[in-house]
Amino acid sequence: MALAFSSFDVWETEFRRIAAGLSGGSGWVVLGFNQHTRQLENYWMPDHAHSPAATAPILVMDMYEHAYQMDFGAAAAKYIDAFFQNIQWDKVATRLAASGATKT
């Protein structure tokens, strides 16, 4: 698998920026494994009907307002922080392995 991000911090910064750009809007932020390029990539998913071809979702954050309005109001940044504090990394690792990303 080719190295898609130079570090965890670089990946997290990009993922958070995509999420912040969606606040007050709609869609999901997805860390996916692209089976053609064999790389992990961050995506913005605008709707239910379209997704990147041949990409397995590894981590998905819902940025539709219904996901955070009740608990955080318009403070999407606080929702993003809470999302990161509650990621179950063992589940992410399981999805990553199932995607074929860890095969050499």
Domain with residue 13: its CATH number is: 3.55.40.20
One pLDDT digit (tens) per residue for the chain, 104 residues: 446 788 999 999 999 999 999 877 788 999 999 999 999 999 998 877 677 888 999 999 999 888 898 999 889 999 999 999 999 999 999 999 999 887 75
What's the token pair of residue 26?
Answer: 């709609």
β-pair partners for 101:
none
Look up the domain containing 50 and give its range: 8-97
- For the chain, what is the domain count? 1
pTM over 0.95: no
φ, ψ dihedrals at 61, nearest 5°: -115, 125
